[in-house]
Structure 1
Amino acid sequence: MVAVGGIVRISNDVELENGRVKHYRLPRSILAFMQVLEYDRSFLASRILFDRFNGSLIISGAFGLFKKDTVIAVGGYDNKTMGEDMELVVKLHEYCTVNNIDYAIRYATDAICWTQVPERLRDLCKQRKRWHLGLFQSMYKHRVMFSNHRFGAVSFVSYLYFLIYELLSPFIEVFGVFTMVLAWWCDLINVPFMLLFFLIYAVFGGVLTLTAFFSRIYTADLTLSFGDGLKAVCLCLFELVFLRFILAWVRCTAFIGYRKKKLSWGRIERRKIDLK
């Protein structure tokens, strides 16, 4: 075992006492609330899948444990990337595989770290730009893993997933939206069919999001008010249809001025955790 990561949950408006939840409620901020849905969908889906075949490429910087001698052997954190958490994990995969070291990088679903998320759209955009640049830097630096049979499923599943679904997906989504608008303007699209298709997409995505959200509430033995549950149902579609495309555009434009800001961390305001 060379590294293990846990689940990161959002603490905005959650009351904690001695490291445990004293009173759980979802954030009052709509933007933070939608990030709860986003985090649950991410941590309870792809990370569990990758853990099945030792394919995790990222351990959140907020919460991870690493085998010290192995981390030192690979050179530790890279201070020339903004995604040092992901870069270190990918580097561990590459180092252990190339040197024929039997290793495991795991995901502990019962280990929880509470963190704050941005409640202002401007701060959220700064964060996601930084994440996307860090993703690009890590994948480019370790591009030797792409379609390389030596790395097995890490190459053909994990790396390919992050390349297409994470790095390139915002460009695909934005291009798709512009294509639909252009097709509508040129009267080359069946508008009722397009709206029906988009509705099916939104409902399907909403079902997946709510499944992850309520599963997390149930497995963590948390009490959820009726109002918060209803709010989650209403906001899941808003998060999928609006916030997702806003962040897709933000990620697409993250490379503008890349040379100047490729090492710029950016300041983000966060609320203090409510500790008793």
Structure 2
Amino acid sequence: MNLRIIITNLILGYNNFALYYFIFINIFNTILILLAVRGIKKYRYKLQNWPYYQMIASVYVPPVSILVPCYNEEKTIVDNIESLLSIEYNKFEIVVINDGSKDNTLDTLRKAFDLKKLDSPYRKNINTKEVRGIYLSSRVPNLTVVDKENGGKADALNVGINICKYPLFTAIDADSILEKNSLIKVVRPFIDEPDRVVATGGIVRVVNGSKINSGFIQEVSLSKKPIAILQTVEYLRAFLFGRMGWSELNSLLIVSGAFGVFKKDIVLKVGGYAENTIGEDMELVIKVHKYLKEEKIDYDIVFVPDPVCWTQAPESFNSLKIQRIRWHRGLIDSLINHKDMFLNPRFGFIGILAIPYYWLVEMIGPIIEVLGYVTVIASYFLGLLSYEFAIIFFIISVLYGVFLSLASVMLEEYNFMKYNRVGDYLKMVFYAIVENFGYRQLTTWWRAKAFVGYKRKQNEWGQIQRKEFDN
């Protein structure tokens, strides 16, 4: 058979596949956003029956250990801890784990909180790298700082789990800031359903552009940098319709490493955070799902749309590239590690719906999209391209992407109203449109590149540049 004919048939076949793939994704995403709207309505109804200010002093609120793993975070660590110390919660402890930082993170903590080293041993429920010292603060009784050999974020979190003393723990990134009432909000599902809920996650938002004073957000506003605004819209879309929708199906596969709460005993039973992956947050959640399904234990893993953790988004394309490649390699890790769950009815919706979706859409979706651009170009040179169809397809895909982003922005404005300026919402609407022309394609390309050299990746924190919070 003529080579041109073979190539032509391959391109036409792929174009047909891409069309049906596109239709499938958009139908499913529409279902997710409808589920997300339903979930947010249920959440607002609960608030009317038991407001948070009544929960803060309640005896039914369980104590929580806050784990803060850090590596080279001297610029933000004190603001972060000061913020955590002032959260509105009855009983909590903060455990900061310095994972062998090469900068002055430990000295900064020692001076800021007057740390004194302890000589007492601790119990190792999970094997970790060596702990070099445990410090208590002479002025803050519920603060513990652990200094350890570098072993990666997962190892640092496992040290925190070994040392923390309360039945619930949350892991907060050192470059993030909680709102004062965020913890009580994300813990609420454990109070409402104490026998079912094993993990919860809150929404993570971009702090860039907001005014920070001594670790507290004084004013929420958008960054002046387009790259940060684009990520703001992206985060709203990922959390308010993506994770909220999956939560409604009790099939949430990711509880953000920047802000999630877990039952300590369940995490210990699954061996803690895995060290053989760079996506330790997703890996832990899937392990918990798998264990509880295999043990036939009824449970819920819940996304809570209101409690906010504010995090610094990368402000350079190089840092953003590093972050996105790392995230996607973590996704690949977790899905491959648990490939036995794919289309396995033993795991309910997780096996027959969530895992396949993440395989077919989240993991290989970037490859399919990049190949789609290649086949469009090839179709043009081979004279196979229908200009009318290509234009219509492009317009529909852009409009649907804009719809998803705008719907997320509107959900934010109607339900939570974190931004006070009308101009900020108008900017987000503008960038919800702009992101479809270059930004989305660039992040797709980075995610596709995650497959290149995947086996040679290193289990490291990554070098994303941080800066001091704006005061």
TM-score (norm: length of structure 1): 0.94
Counterpart-to-counterpart distance in 2, 1:52 and 1:159: 16
CA 1:253–1:237 in structure 2 vs 1: closer, same or farther (change >3 Å)?
A: same
CA RMSD for the aligned pairs?
1.7
Residues 217-267 of structure 1: CA deviation (Å, up to 9, x unaligned): 332223443443333233222212311111111111112222332424321
Structure number having the greater strand percentage: 2
Structure number having the greater helix percentage: 1
Residues 14-67 of structure 1: CA deviation (Å, up to 9, x unaligned): 124687643221111101100111111111112111111211001000001110
Other structure's SS at 1:241 match: coil
Q: 2:370 aligns with which of 151, 162, 174?
A: 174
Residue in 1 that maps onto 2:308: 112
Runs of 4+ in structure 1 displaced over 6 angstroms?
A: none
Bigger CA drift: 78-87 or 108-117? 108-117
Counterpart residue identity of residue 297, structure 2: I
The answer (yes or no) to whether the contact 2:244–2:304 under 8 Å persists in 1 is no
Q: 1:250 aligns with which of 442, 446, 458?
A: 446
Fraction of identical pairs, as percent: 40
1:72 aligns with 2:258: no
- For structure 2, the residue ranges without an aligned partner over 5 or more in a row are 1-196
Counterpart residue identity of residue 301, structure 2: I
Q: 1:190 aligns with which of 386, 396, 402?
A: 386
The answer (yes or no) to whether the contact 1:32–1:118 under 8 Å persists in 2 is yes
Other structure's SS at 2:310 match: strand
Structure showing greater radius of gyration is: 2
Counterpart-to-counterpart distance in 2, 1:203 and 1:2: 38
Counterpart-to-counterpart distance in 2, 1:72 and 1:92: 10
Please state how far the C-alpha of 1:141 moved relative to its aligned partner. Answer: 0.7
Counterpart-to-counterpart distance in 1, 2:464 and 2:330: 16
CA 1:225–1:10 in structure 2 vs 1: closer, same or farther (change >3 Å)?
A: same
The answer (yes or no) to whether the contact 1:130–1:265 under 8 Å persists in 2 is no
1:141 aligns with 2:337: yes
Residue in 2 that maps onto 1:151: 347
Other structure's SS at 1:263 match: coil
Map 1:191-210; keep pairs closer than 5 Å.
Answer: 191-210=387-406
Counterpart-to-counterpart distance in 1, 2:383 and 2:228: 39
Q: 2:459 aligns with which of 242, 263, 269?
A: 263
The answer (yes or no) to whether the contact 1:5–1:108 under 8 Å persists in 2 is yes
The answer (yes or no) to whether the contact 2:409–2:425 under 8 Å persists in 1 is no
Map 1:1-276; keep pairs closer than 5 Å.
Answer: 1-16=197-212, 21-274=217-470
Counterpart-to-counterpart distance in 1, 2:375 and 2:315: 32
Counterpart-to-counterpart distance in 2, 1:214 and 1:201: 20
Residues 81-140 of structure 1: CA deviation (Å, up to 9, x unaligned): 000000000000000111122221111112111101101011001001101110011011
